[in-house]
C-alpha cells in the first residue's frame, strides 16, 4: 500500500470507532444500569488501559513494523463489540473499557507511526491530513451510530456495524502495508536508564502536546454543556458545539496538510494564539451564534497543534526507532486528553464555566510559547542514535 493511503485508512477506522463510541455512550450507560457518577468512573478505565498500551506499542512497531497497526485496529473493533455485548453492570463495563482503552492506545500510537513513516517518505504533511481524516470520520461514525440508534438498534448492533468497517480497514493495513522497518530493527529489550535518557526530549515534547490535547478535549467535552447552561440552548442546538468543533478541525487539517508552504513554527505559534482567541470568544459570548464562532476559532487553532508538533519531533528519526519516539510523545500527550475535561470541570466549580473557558485559553497560550522551544530541544539534544543514518 502506498503510505499516503495507509495512514488515512487507519485514521478513518479510528475515527469511526470514536464517533460510534460517543453516540453510543448513553446506551452503554443504560444497559449497565449506571449513574452519571458511575459512568464517569468507568470512563477512567479507558485512560487506565490506554496509557500502558501506548507506552509499549512503540517497541512493537519498531520490532515488527508499522503493519501491526492493522492488528491493533482489529483488536479495537473486537473490543467495542465485546464491550457492548458483555457490559451489564459496573464491573463488566469497567473491564470492557480497560480493553477498549488498551486497543485504542495501541491503535493510536501505531497509526501515528504509520503516518510518520509516510511523511518521511513523501515529504508531505501526512500526519496533519491523517488527523483531518480522523476528525471527518468521527462525524461519520457519530451520524451513523445516531441513525442506527434512532431506528431502534441496540449498542451491540452499532458496534457490530462499526467493527465490520474497522475490520476491513485493519485487514487492509495489515496485509498491504510494509511489514518491517526499512532499517534493521534494534534488539527489543527491557527499557534501561540509557534508553530512557535517549527519549527524554520526546517526553518533553509530549508534555507540551498535552496542553493542546487538554484544550481540544476540554472544548469537545464541555462545549455543549456551556451552550445549555450558560446560553439556554436546547439539546439539539447544544449538540452543534462538538459537531462544529469536529468539522472545523477536519477542514483546517485538510487545508494545512495540502501544502507545506506555511512554516511549522508559524503553525505552532499562530495556532496557539487563534485557539486562545476562540476560547476567549466562547467565554464572553452573549449568544449562541457568537459562541459557535468562538468554537470554530478554537477548533481551527487547536487542530494544528499536536499534528504539527508530532511531525516536527519525529522528522529524521530512524525507522527502527520511530515507534518508540512516537510512543514517548503520544503517551505523554495523551495525559492532557484525559486530564483536560477534569481541569475544565474543576475550574468551572471555582469560577464558573465561562471562567473555565479562559483557563483553556491559558493552556494554548502556554503551548504557543513552549512549542517552538520544544521543537528546538528535540533538534539539538535527541541523540544521533535516534536519527536516520
E-assigned strand segments in 257-368:
none
Residue with the bigger pLDDT between 172 and 22: it is: 172
Residue 27: pLDDT above 60?
Answer: yes
What domains does the chain contain, in order, with CATH numbers?
A: 1-181 (1.20.1250.20), 192-389 (1.20.1250.20)
Q: Which 3 state secondary structure label does DSSP give 23?
A: helix
From 19-33, 169-183, 184-198, the region with the lowest mean pLDDT: 184-198
Q: Which helix (H) or strand (E) holds 114?
A: helix 90-122
Distance, in Å, from the CA atom of 58 to the CA atom of 342, rounded to the nearest integer, reads 27
Maximum mean pLDDT: which of 116-125, 151-160, 225-234, 238-247: 151-160
Count the neighbouring beta carbons within 10 Å of the beta carbon of residue 196.
11
Which tens digit of pLDDT belongs to each residue from 112-161?
A: 999 988 888 888 888 889 989 998 998 888 888 888 888 888 889 999 99
pLDDT exceeds 50 at position 183: no
Q: Give, in degrees to the nearest 5, the angle at Cα 330 between 50 and 125.
A: 130
* pLDDT band at residue 198 under the 50/70/90 scheme: low
Distance CA 238, CA 36 (A): 19
Q: Would you say residue 267 has pLDDT above 70?
A: yes
The SS3 call for residue 387 is strand
- pLDDT number for residue 182: 44
pLDDT band at 196 (very low <50, low <70, confident <90, very high): low
User: Which pLDDT belongs to residue 270?
Assistant: 96
H or E element that contains 155: helix 155-176
- pTM comes to 0.80
pLDDT of residue 185: 46
- Long-range contacts of range 181-185, CB-CB < 8 Å, 24 or more positions apart? 181/62, 181/65, 181/319, 181/320, 181/322, 182/319, 183/318, 183/319, 183/320, 183/388, 183/389, 184/320, 185/62, 185/63, 185/320
Whether 365 shows a pLDDT value over 70: the answer reads: yes
Q: Which residues pair with 317 in a beta bridge?
A: 387
- Which pLDDT value is given to residue 235? 63
Q: pLDDT by residue (tens digit) across 252-265?
A: 999 988 877 888 88
Minimal CA–CA distance to 272: which of 367, 347, 338? 367
Amino acid at each position: 500500500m502506498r503510505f499516503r493511503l495507509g495512514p488515512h485508512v487507519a485514521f478513518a477506522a479510528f475515527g469511526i470507532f470514536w464517533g460510534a463510541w460517543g453516540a453510543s455512550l448513553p446506551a452503554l450507560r443504560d444497559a449497565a444500569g449506571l449513574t452519571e457518577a458511575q459512568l464517569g468512573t468507568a470512563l477512567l478505565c479507558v485512560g487506565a488501559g490506554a496509557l500502558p498500551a501506548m507506552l509499549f506499542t512503540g517497541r512493537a512497531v519498531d520490532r515488527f513494523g508499522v503493519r501491526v497497526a492493522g492488528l491493533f485496529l482489529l483488536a479495537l473493533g473486537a473490543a467495542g463489540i465485546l464491550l457492548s455485548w458483555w457490559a451489564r453492570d459496573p464491573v463488566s463495563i469497567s473491564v470492557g473499557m480497560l480493553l477498549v482503552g488498551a486497543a485504542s492506545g495501541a491503535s493510536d500510537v501505531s497509526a501515528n507511526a504509520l503516518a510518520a513513516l509516510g511523511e518521511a517518505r513523501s515529504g508531505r504533511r501526512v500526519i496533519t491530513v491523517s488527523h483531518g481524516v480522523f476528525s471527518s470520520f468521527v462525524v461519520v461514525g457519530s451520524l451513523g451510530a445516531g441513525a442506527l440508534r434512532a431506528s431502534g438498534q441496540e449498542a451491540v448492533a452499532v458496534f457490530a456495524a462499526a467493527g465490520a468497517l474497522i475490520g476491513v480497514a485493519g485487514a487492509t493495513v495489515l496485509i498491504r502495508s510494509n511489514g518491517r522497518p526499512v532499517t534493521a530493527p534494534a534488539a527489543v529489550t527491557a527499557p534501561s536508564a540509557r534508553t530512557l535518557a535517549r527519549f527524554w526530549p520526546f517526553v518533553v515534547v509530549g508534555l507540551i502536546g498535552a496542553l493542546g490535547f487538554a484544550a481540544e478535549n476540554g472544548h469537545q467535552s464541555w462545549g455543549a454543556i456551556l451552550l445549555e447552561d450558560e446560553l439556554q440552548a436546547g439539546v439539539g442546538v447544544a449538540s452543534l458545539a462538538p459537531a462544529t468543533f469536529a468539522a472545523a478541525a477536519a477542514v483546517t487539517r485538510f487545508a494545512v496538510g495540502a501544502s507545506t508552504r506555511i512554516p511549522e513554527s508559524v503553525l505552532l505559534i499562530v495556532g496557539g494564539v487563534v485557539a486562545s482567541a476562540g476560547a476567549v470568544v466562547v467565554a464572553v459570548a452573549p449568544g449562541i451564534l457568537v459562541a459557535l464562532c468562538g468554537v470554530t476559532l478554537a477548533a481551527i487553532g487547536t487542530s494544528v497543534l499536536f499534528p504539527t508538533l508530532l511531525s516536527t519531533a519525529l522528522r529524521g528519526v530512524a525507522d527502527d526507532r520511530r515507534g518508540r519516539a512516537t510512543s514517548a510523545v503520544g503517551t505523554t500527550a495523551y495525559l492532557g486528553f484525559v486530564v483536560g475535561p477534569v481541569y475544565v470541570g474543576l475550574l468551572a466549580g471555582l469560577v464558573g464555566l465561562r471562567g473555565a473557558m479562559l483557563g483553556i485559553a491559558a493552556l494554548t497560550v502556554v503551548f504557543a510559547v513552549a512549542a517552538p522551544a520544544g521543537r528546538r530541544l528535540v533538534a539539538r539534544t535527541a541523540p544521533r542514535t535516534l536519527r536516520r543514518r
